[in-house]
Structure formats: C-alpha cells, structure tokens
C-alpha cells in the first residue's frame, strides 16, 4: 500500500491525467460497466435464490447446489471471455448456426457483437461470472446452522400469514441476506470497475475502460506516462470508494427495507412466478455452451464462413500446448505454492490470533479484493524492486499468495468460526492436548472446508494476470498470460486450447478436493469393542 501511495503523490501525473483526451469517457465506461454488471449479477442471484430457497433447508439439496457451483467458479474470467468470443463473434458459432439459410450472409458482418462501444459484451461476461460467486457467498451464509434455523422459522411464520414461499423469501429472507453480502458485492464491484484482461478481450476499444488505459500508461517506458497511469489507478480507487459508501448507506438504511417488506399477503402471490428454476438452468447452459465452444475451437482446422463445421479437425493446438510444458509447470507450482501458503497462514490466523486482532485487521486483509488491480500491482512491483525480488520466482510466489489470501480466508472463516467449541472441552476432559485436538478432531472435521479453500486459492492463482506480468517482468509465462496474449494475436485454436486449460486445471483440483473431503466411516469390530463413528465434516 505504501508503494502505491508513494507512486500516486506525483502532481504532474494528475495534471496529465486531467488533460488526457479520453479520461472522462474511459471513466464513464468503467463506471457504467462495473455498476451495471454488479446490479444485474445481484438481481440474478436473488432471482435464483428465490427459486431454490425452499430447498436450502435440506442439507442434501444445498450440498448439491454448492457442488454445482464448483465447476462454474473454476472457470477463469479470461477463459469465459474467450469462449464467449467464440460464440458471439461475427464469425462465431451462433451466427454460423443461422447462416446462410436464415441471414443470407456469405461473409462475417461488421457487427460489434464483442468489443462494442457500449460495453455490453464486457457486462455480459462479468454478470455470468459473478453470479456463481455471489451464489456461493450467499450459500455460505445461509448454510450456517444458526442462520438456517432462524430463517426457516421466519419463512414458515410468513407462510402461515398467507405469503407464498417465493413471496416470503422476497419479504423476509432477501432483506436480511443482502446487507450481509456487502463484502462480496464490494469485491464484485471492484473487479468490474478495474478489470484489465477481460476488458482487453471483450471490452470497448474506442476508448477502452480507464483500467485498460492505466495499464497501457504503466507499461510505457516514459516515467511521466507511468505517473499518469498511477493517477488513473488512484482515480478508480476513489470512484470505487464513493460507490462503496453509497452502497453501504443504502444497504444499512431502513427506508428501503420498510418499502421492500411492505405489502399484504393477498398481494404477495405475484412473487410466485418470479424465481423459476430455469434461471439456474440457463446459467449452466451458458457455461456449457461457452466451454463447448472452447473445446471445439481448440481442434478446428480450416473453417471458411459460413460453414457450421470446419473442413478438418486437428490436434496442432494441443501439440503446441504440450510443447509449452514450462508454462504449464509454472502455472501449477505457482498455484499450489500460493494456495498452500495462504491456507497455512489463514489457519494459523484463525486459530491463534485474538478475536479483536481479526476484527481490526480484516479490512487490511481484504485490500487485494477491493483495490483496483492496476493500483495493487504498482505497490507489488515497487515492493519487489525494493526487496530485490523482481523477476524472481520468490517474488512472483509472494504476489500470488497476497492475491489468493483473501479468498482463502473468506472461504475458511465461516466454517472455522462456526466450529462447535464444546468439542474442545470434551477433548480436554479426556486428557488430550490442544495439538491432539487439532490433528484428530478439529481439522479432520473441517477437511471439507480446508480442501475447498485450497481449491479456490488454486483457481484464483491460475487466473492472475497483472501480478504475473508486473512482478514476473515477462520472464514467467502462465496459461492465463499465454491465453490473453494469443487472443490479442488472433491465433484461434491455440487460444482456445490455453483457455480450456485455464479451466481444466482448477476443475481437477476441485474434483480432488471433493474426493478428499468425502466422509470416512469406521466400522465396528466383530467383538464390539471398536468405536462406530462417521466424520462428515461441516456443510
């Protein structure tokens, strides 16, 4: 943070930013795409929850929904954007599906289906990618035993007053859940305002978003342009702080709750049609179409327009991926090392740090989530230069670990703090030390949460773009940097192969984590002297 603050104190950079011709337009585009995508993702999340809230009180149903979100969460933003490009581009699958028999087109039309000046393509990618994250954050709160029991009682009471299940959710459940999603919503808004790699792929280009402009200025060899880029990053941070303040005032105000929850039961039946199960099905279908387009795009050969199917299929792209084994190895060891280090630190922090420390340090630990990515990497780059870690694997590991840590902490904090403290007293009454309690009781029961935290950290590390570029200084290539660079160069098959690999690696780790977190059952001995126990782990 100090490195970012020091870089932003150059008055000449602010003057140059004020006189830059595209600053106002780029800032307006950033605000429009960031705010619109956050509002739409929040509305879609509430809509899906309205359809499934009646099933969330069943552990089996909520577990299935959580497992369904895992492969969706594992899809990196850049990979999803590349797949959406393959679907929506003027020469993409969707237009070929209707050409030439429906449209009469014999050549790709000059339609701005992506990289449009209104930022609609960028908004679409951000909305589809943030819905699973907000659903996951909502389920993490709703599955807490105390919250689930109280909410179930309140919804049942509303139902006895004549409200339908969906109407009871909108009147009772959602007004209580929304303020508790303040931190995830802030992270979503921060990402939407400041994303660079996705904006490069599908965002507007004339002018681009302010985050892309800041990234371009920071890459310039002229120090004056670098100062202008830092000023742009701080401007984004100021806009984000203003949006966060307005959101906080809205969520914690009482006026909207009174108006939202007002209404007689006889008028509440209209809400029955709001949250239909097809909303989640449509989301899964979009993800399936995107990933299928990536998979097919990685093996296509010559493919003249408007043919629906290519002339030939080829494995040349995957052979190119196989020759880039160093890139794959760098991605894997970085993700494993950073997620492992973040898990060790998070467990130590949650286990031994005093509660007041955790409360006061939480805003600092969440900084990588809410600060603009371009501003965060400015501080990281200065820190790596000061410590002599620039262009080194250690420096890159540190940068990825700092980016991964907030996600691991968020994933682990709820289950860890919700662990039943009575088990500690039982263990102590049997004469066991605290270390024995941790190794044989607490951590085995929390293995599901621990495994999920590592998988989430792995996925976050794989998706890192700016820290790899700035701290690695181009000497370390990952599947994400390769996919974005290839997309800019127009190498369709190789881009799709690397984007598919971006998704495949986290999915494999999520699958391994799910397998490792399965409950283990111990069968009683024939003599009846053994113990019959089943450790299922917290939901």
- Dihedral class, residue 474 (left if φ above 0, else alpha if ψ from -120 to 50, else beta): left
Which of 8-22, 161-175, 277-291, 297-311 reaches the highest mean pLDDT? 8-22
3-state helix, strand, coil in the chain (%, to 5): 75, 0, 25
Give the mean pLDDT of 120-141. 90
Give the mean pLDDT of 341-356. 92
Pick the more confident residue, 430 or 142.
Answer: 430
Q: Strand pairing partners for 520?
A: 535
- What is the pLDDT at residue 276? 47
Give the mean pLDDT of 175-193. 87
- pLDDT band at 459, cuts 50/70/90? very high
Pick the more confident residue, 177 or 147.
Answer: 177
- Domains of the chain from N-terminus onward: 31-314 (1.10.3720), 325-476 (1.10.3720.10)
Closest CA to 244 of 441, 38, 395: 38
Task: Note the pLDDT tens digit of each residue in 3-25.
Answer: 888 888 888 999 999 999 889 99
d(CA 211, CA 219): 12
Element (H, E) at 120: helix 120-142
Task: Give me the chain's average pLDDT, please.
Answer: 83
Rg over CA atoms, the chain: 25
Is the separation of the CB atoms in 3 and 383 below 8 Å?
yes
Closest CA to 169 of 151, 145, 187, 181: 151
Closest CA to 66 of 452, 488, 491, 520: 452
Task: Note the pLDDT tens digit of each residue in 279-294.
Answer: 788 888 999 999 999 9
- What is the pLDDT at residue 54? 54
- pLDDT band at 307, cuts 50/70/90? confident
| Percentage, residues of the chain above pLDDT 90 | 28
For residue 24, give Cα distances in angstroms to 18, 79, 192, 445.
9, 30, 17, 53
The size of the chain, in residues, is 539
- Residue position matching structure tokens 């909108």: 170
Least confident of 83-87, 142-146, 189-193, 493-497: 142-146
CA 327 to chain centre: 23
Helix, coil or strand: residue 354: coil
- Residue position matching structure tokens 């299928």: 292
pLDDT at 304 exceeding the cut of 70: yes
Is the separation of the CB atoms in 327 and 482 below 8 Å?
yes
pLDDT at 57 exceeding the cut of 60: no
pLDDT at 483 exceeding the cut of 50: yes
Give the mean pLDDT of 63-82. 83
Question: CB atoms < 10 A from the CB of 349, how many?
Answer: 18
d(CA 347, CA 449): 11
d(CA 331, CA 16): 37
Give the mean pLDDT of 156-177. 82
pLDDT at 241 exceeding the cut of 70: yes
Pick the more confident residue, 89 or 528.
Answer: 89
Task: Note the pLDDT tens digit of each residue in 370-414.
Answer: 788 888 888 888 889 889 888 899 999 999 999 999 989 988 887
Task: Please state the pTM of the whole predicted model.
Answer: 0.84
Is the separation of the CB atoms in 233 and 375 below 8 Å?
yes
- What is the pLDDT at residue 381? 87
Angle between helical axes of 393-417 and 120-142 (0-180°, round to 10): 40
Contacts of 385 (CB under 8 A, 6+ apart): none
Half-sphere exposure of 279 (CA within 13 A, CB side): 19
């Amino acid at each position: 943070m100090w490195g970012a603050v020091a870089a932003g104190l150059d008055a000449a950079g602010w003057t140059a930013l004020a006189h830059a011709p595209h600053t106002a337009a780029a800032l307006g585009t950033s605000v429009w795409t960031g705010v619109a995508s956050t509002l739409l993702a929040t509305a879609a999340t509430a809509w899906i929850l309205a359809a499934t809230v009646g099933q969330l009180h069943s552990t089996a149903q909520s577990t299935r929904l959580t497992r369904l979100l895992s492969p969706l969460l594992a899809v990196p933003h850049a990979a999803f954007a590349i797949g959406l490009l393959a679907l929506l581009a003027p020469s993409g699958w969707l237009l070929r599906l209707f050409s030439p028999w429906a449209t009469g087109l014999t050549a790709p039309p000059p339609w701005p289906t992506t990289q449009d000046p209104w930022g609609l393509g960028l908004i679409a990618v951000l909305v589809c990618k943030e819905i699973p994250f907000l659903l996951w954050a909502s389920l993490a709160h709703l599955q807490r035993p105390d919250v689930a029991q109280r909410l179930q009682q309140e919804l049942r009471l509303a139902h006895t007053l004549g409200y339908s299940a969906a109407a009871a959710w909108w009147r009772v459940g959602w007004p209580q859940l929304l303020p508790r999603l303040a931190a995830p919503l802030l992270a979503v808004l921060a990402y939407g305002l400041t994303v660079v790699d996705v904006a490069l792929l599908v965002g507007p280009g004339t002018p681009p978003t302010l985050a892309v402009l800041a990234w371009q200025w920071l890459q310039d060899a002229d120090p004056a342009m670098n100062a202008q880029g830092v000023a742009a990053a701080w401007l984004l941070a100021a806009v984000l702080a203003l949006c966060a303040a307005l959101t906080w005032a809205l969520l914690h105000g009482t006026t909207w709750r009174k108006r939202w929850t007002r209404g007689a039961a006889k008028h509440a039946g209209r809400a029955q049609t709001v949250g239909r199960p097809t909303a989640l099905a449509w989301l899964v279908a979009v993800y399936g179409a995107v990933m299928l387009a990536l998979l097919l795009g990685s093996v296509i050969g010559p493919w003249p327009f408007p043919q629906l199917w290519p002339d030939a299929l080829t494995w040349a792209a995957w052979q190119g991926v196989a020759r880039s084994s160093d890139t794959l190895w760098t991605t894997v060891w970085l993700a494993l090392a950073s997620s492992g280090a973040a898990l060790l630190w998070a467990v130590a922090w949650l286990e031994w740090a005093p509660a007041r420390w955790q409360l006061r340090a939480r805003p600092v630990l969440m900084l990588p989530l809410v600060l603009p990515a371009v501003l965060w990497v400015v501080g990281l780059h200065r820190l790596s230069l000061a410590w002599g870690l620039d262009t080194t694997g250690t420096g890159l590991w540190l940068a990825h670990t700092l980016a991964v840590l907030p996600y691991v902490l968020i994933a682990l904090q709820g289950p860890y703090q919700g662990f039943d403290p009575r088990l500690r007293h039982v263990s102590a009454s049997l004469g066991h030390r605290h270390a024995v309690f941790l190794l044989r009781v607490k951590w085995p029961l929390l293995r599901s949460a621990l495994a999920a935290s590592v998988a989430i950290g792995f996925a976050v590390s794989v998706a890192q773009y700016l820290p790899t570029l700035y701290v690695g200084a181009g000497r370390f290539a990952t599947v994400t940097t390769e996919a974005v660079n290839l997309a800019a160069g127009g190498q369709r098959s190789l881009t799709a192969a690397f984007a598919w690999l971006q998704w495949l690696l986290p999915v494999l780790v999520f699958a391994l984590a799910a397998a490792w977190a399965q409950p283990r059952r111990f069968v009683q001995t024939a003599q009846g002297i053994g113990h019959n126990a089943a450790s299922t782990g917290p939901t």
